[in-house]
Amino acid sequence: MRTFVIAFIAALIALPAAAEQQINLKKAPGVDKVEANCQACHSLAYVPMNSPFISAAGWTAEVNKMIKVMGAPIDYADAKAIIDYLAKNYGT
């Protein structure tokens, strides 16, 4: 929980600076799904910013939260591709 709070505070501090720069995610299978689905609601800066703190299970939980709690309209196939991409390229 403490790690999440620290990451959240860091995100709030970094958000204005991140909004001014282009975020280039690692080119790998699934990056197109991340860019198309995640960026519709928030900055892609959250991905590298949170990656030191999130495991594969954590990315699964985050994507599921975005769908079930936040209402992100992501279909099952895209969700799986997004989770796989995040876990392989930005997981701890």
What average pLDDT does the chain have? 88
Chain segment 36-47, per-residue pLDDT in tens: 999 989 999 999
Cα–chain center distance at 86: 7
pLDDT at 3: 72
Chain segment 71-90, per-residue pLDDT in tens: 999 999 999 999 999 999 99
- Could you give all domains of the chain from N- to C-terminal order, each with its CATH number? 2-90 (1.10.760.10)
In single-letter form, the type of residue at position 92 comes to: T
CB 51, CB 91: distance < 8 Å: yes
In single-letter form, the type of residue at position 72 comes to: A
CA distance 19 to 72: 21
Distant-in-sequence, close-in-space partners of 19: CB < 8 Å, separation ≥ 6:
43, 45
pLDDT at 13: 72
Residues in the chain: 92
pTM: 0.75
Bigger pLDDT: 85 vs 14: 85
